[in-house]
């Protein structure tokens, strides 16, 4: 039987344009906080999994420089990459090592210094995250261009409006305004979003996540060790993962991400949750809103509502605290920021702190079920991870 695994410590750097630190310094902000919260020593860590997509930053071997700076040289380590879902892949890798008995305590750290390259270079590198020779070289698709295809298809099929997309941005900035670690800790109005310049119609600047530097870390432990460290472990109840074609022209729909739907179904099956009534079992969700249309599709791919009804959740304010299901109370990728390798770990940090009642006043969800969900997408649905975190010990495999 696989061992149960819990989060026993969390750490989070300030997100933003971080010219003030190097990659290892940025990572250490999160690592130090996580180790201190867990109340362990650096020597107690047996495995370090570093999530870093890279390409735009100076260090080609980030795991090594991060470990050295943090005083973790000599530890078993590796770097993982799964595009924008790299952070969730890092957590899964560390979780699997502990579940198998290969380690008792592991550190999963996601870190990215995207602003070490100029914006056009970053845009090009992200645009390559599909089928490079067919889509980027032939058609020049950028990431906003990819998601504009989804947005226009969704609008045509279901009748959503640009205002519905902007309502997602307004909500996420509202909660980011209470998050001191957010890239953009400020509110915006619907009019602000609607007036912002187009990036790829109908996607506007304020529909888009920023280019962000940041780091987040979690300390994972086996059940036996977790109870020695804390009386309030947050368990990794289930992880569902899936993938899709590199070439989006081979996909059957542009109003959904099939990999996300499959990952969600696999996570629900592993946890024993009823996918038909999943919102009745969750207190909150952190979903991958690289663009506002992505959050709306996530509502449907996760089964919160039926197909074609996601935009109504946004329009009616049902994803605020007090609504059907609170979503992205951290500010989401849209306003908290999206340092690619750190995003999935950042989701885990915020959900853990939410479940333990340790976030800022005004963005704390009501915890009734003791369960939160993270939905993390890599590329334009090329990778997908859905992770369920819980205060209740998961059933054995």
What token pair was written down for 222? 């086996």
Q: Is 84 a known active-site residue?
A: yes
Supply the angle between the helices 143-158 and 292-301 in degrees, to the nearest 10: 60
Secondary structure (3-state) at 148: helix
In the chain, how long is the greatest CA-to-CA distance?
57
Q: Report how far residue 331's alpha carbon sits from residue 354's, in angstroms, rounded to the nearest whole number.
A: 13
Smallest Cα–Cα separation from 379: which of 17, 131, 114? 131
Give the whole-angstrom CA distance, residue 115 versus residue 113.
Answer: 6
List, as one string, the DSSP characters of 257-293.
Answer: -HHHHHHHHHHHHHHT--GGGGGGG-SEEE---SBHH
* Cβ(67)–Cβ(37) below 8 Å: no
Concatenating the DSSP letter of every residue in 184-228 gives S-S---HHHHHHSPEEETTEEGGGB----EEEEEEEEEEHHHHHH
State how far the Cα of 320 lies from the Cα of 189, in Å rounded to an integer. 15
Integer distance in angstroms from the first to the last C-alpha of the chain?
6
**Helix (H), strand (E) at residue 215:** strand 213-222
Is 193 annotated in the active site? no
User: How many distinct helices (H) and strands (E) make up the chain?
Assistant: 14, 11
Which of these is catalytic: 84, 166, 193, 290? 84
**Could you tell me which residues are beta bridge partners of residue 82?**
84
Catalytic: which of 173, 183, 288, 338?
Answer: 338
Phi-psi group of 384: left, alpha or beta (phi > 0 → left; psi -120 to 50 → alpha; rest → beta): beta
Pairwise CA distance, residues 338 & 288, whole Å? 9
Q: Please tell me the distance from the alpha carbon of residue 205 to that of residue 164, in angstroms, as a whole number.
A: 15
What the block records as the tokens of 48 is 């370090």
- Give 181's Cβ-side CA count (13 Å radius): 25
* Residues marked as catalytic: 84, 338
């Amino acid at each position: 039987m696989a061992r149960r695994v819990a989060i026993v410590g969390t750490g989070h750097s300030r997100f933003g344009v971080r010219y003030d630190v190097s990659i290892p310094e940025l990572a250490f902000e999160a690592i130090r906080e996580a180790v201190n919260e867990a109340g362990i020593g650096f020597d107690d860590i047996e495995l370090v999994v570093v999530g870093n997509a890279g390409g735009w930053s100076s260090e080609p071997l980030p795991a090594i420089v991060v470990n050295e700076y943090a005083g973790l040289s000599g530890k078993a380590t590796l770097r993982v990459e799964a595009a924008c879902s790299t952070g969730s892949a890092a957590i899964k890798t560390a979780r699997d090592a502990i579940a198998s008995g290969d380690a008792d305590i592991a550190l999963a750290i996601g870190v990215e210094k995207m602003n070490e390259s100029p914006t056009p270079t970053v845009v090009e590198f992200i645009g390559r995250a599909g089928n490079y020779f067919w889509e980027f070289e032939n058609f020049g698709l950028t990431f906003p261009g990819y998601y504009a295809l989804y947005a226009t298809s969704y609008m045509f099929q279901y009748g959503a409006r640009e205002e519905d997309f902007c309502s997602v941005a307004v909500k996420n900035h509202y909660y980011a305004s209470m998050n001191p670690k957010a890239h953009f800790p400020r509110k915006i109005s619907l009019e602000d979003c609607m007036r912002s310049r187009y990036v790829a119609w109908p996607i506007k600047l304020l529909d888009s996540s920023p280019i962000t530097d940041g780091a987040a870390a979690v300390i994972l432990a086996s059940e036996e060790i977790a109870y020695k460290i804390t009386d309030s472990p947050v368990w990794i109840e289930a992880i569902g993962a899936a993938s899709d074609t590199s070439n989006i022209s081979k996909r059957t729909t542009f109003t959904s991400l099939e990999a996300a739907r499959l990952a969600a179904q696999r996570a629900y099956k592993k946890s024993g949750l009823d996918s038909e009534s999943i919102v009745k079992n969750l207190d909150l969700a952190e979903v991958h809103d690289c663009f506002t249309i992505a959050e709306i599709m996530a509502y449907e791919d996760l089964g919160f509502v039926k197909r074609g009804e996601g935009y109504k959740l946004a329009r009616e304010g049902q994803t605020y605290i007090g609504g059907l299901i609170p979503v992205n109370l951290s500010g989401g990728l849209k306003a908290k920021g999206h340092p690619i390798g750190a995003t999935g770990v950042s989701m885990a940090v915020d959900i853990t702190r939410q479940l333990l009642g340790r976030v800022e006043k005004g963005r704390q969800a009501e915890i009734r079920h003791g369960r939160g969900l993270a939905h993390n997408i890599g590329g334009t649905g090329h990778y997908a991870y859905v992770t369920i975190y819980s205060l209740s010990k998961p059933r054995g495999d």
